[in-house]
Amino acid sequence: MDTATTIAALRERLAPWRRAGERIALVPTMGNLHAGHLQLVEAGRERADRVVVSVFVNPTQFGEDEDYASYPRTLEEDVRKLRGRSADLLFSPQPAEVYPEDAKTVVEVREMNKMLCGQFRPVHFNGVTTVVCKLLNMVQPDVALFGEKDFQQLVVIRRMVADINIPVEIVGVPTVREADGLAMSSRNDYLSASERRIAPSLYQSLCAAKKVIEAGSLDFRQIEQAQLAVLRQAGFSPDYFSIRRCSDLLPAADQDGGLVILAAARLGKARLIDNVQLTAG
Active site residues: 37
- CB neighbour list of residue 47: distance below 8 Å, 6 or more residues apart: 23, 25, 143, 145, 171
Residues paired with residue 271 on neighbouring β-strands, in sequence order: 266
Task: Give the C-alpha separation, 214 to 67, whole Å.
Answer: 38
Task: Give the C-alpha separation, 157 to 13, whole Å.
Answer: 26
- CB neighbour list of residue 95: distance below 8 Å, 6 or more residues apart: 59
Q: Do residues 62 and 81 make contact, with C-beta atoms less than 8 angstroms apart?
A: no
**Which residue type, as a one-letter code, is found at position 260?**
V
Task: Give the C-alpha separation, 272 to 238, whole Å.
Answer: 9
> Could you tell me the CA-to-CA distances from 13 to 6, 30, 86 in Å, in that order?
11, 21, 16
Task: Give the C-alpha separation, 152 to 43, whole Å.
Answer: 20
Q: Which helix (H) or strand (E) holds 198?
A: helix 193-198
